[in-house]
């Protein structure tokens, strides 16, 4: 296998595997927030604020994976 092909495969795996965790985490966050809202609708403000903050932190992990994938693939494309 050529070096370029291995790098492209590594970039794809880095992004693919790096997005699985945040995707599952955001799903769990949304599920928990909807459960909390169903139990206590009066607490909508703090629940939604904390959920959005947690989603932003979780999404940062996927952005790190994207940057790593771009850096790996950049050795070929750049």
Q: What is the pTM for the complete model shown?
A: 0.79
Q: How confident is the model at residue 78 (pLDDT cuts 50, 70, 90)?
A: low
No. of helices (H) and no. of strands (E), the chain: 2, 0
- In the chain, % of residues over pLDDT 70: 95
- Give the domain CATH number at 55: 1.20.20.10
What does the pLDDT read at residue 25? 93
The residue-averaged pLDDT of 39-63 equals: 94
Give the residue numbers spanning the domain of 17: 3-77
Would you state the structure tokens that stand for residue 50, as one six-digit string?
């904390």
- Residues 35 and 33: their CA atoms lie apart, in Å, by 5
Domain count, the chain: 1
């Amino acid at each position: 296998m050529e070096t370029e092909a291995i790098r492209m495969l590594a970039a794809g795996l880095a992004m693919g595997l790096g997005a699985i965790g945040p995707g599952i985490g955001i799903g769990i966050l949304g599920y928990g927030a909807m459960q909390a809202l169903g139990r206590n609708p009066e607490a909508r403000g703090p629940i939604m604020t904390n959920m959005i903050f947690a989603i932003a932190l979780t999404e940062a992990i996927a952005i790190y994976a994207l940057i790593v994938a771009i850096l790996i693939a950049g050795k070929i494309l750049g």
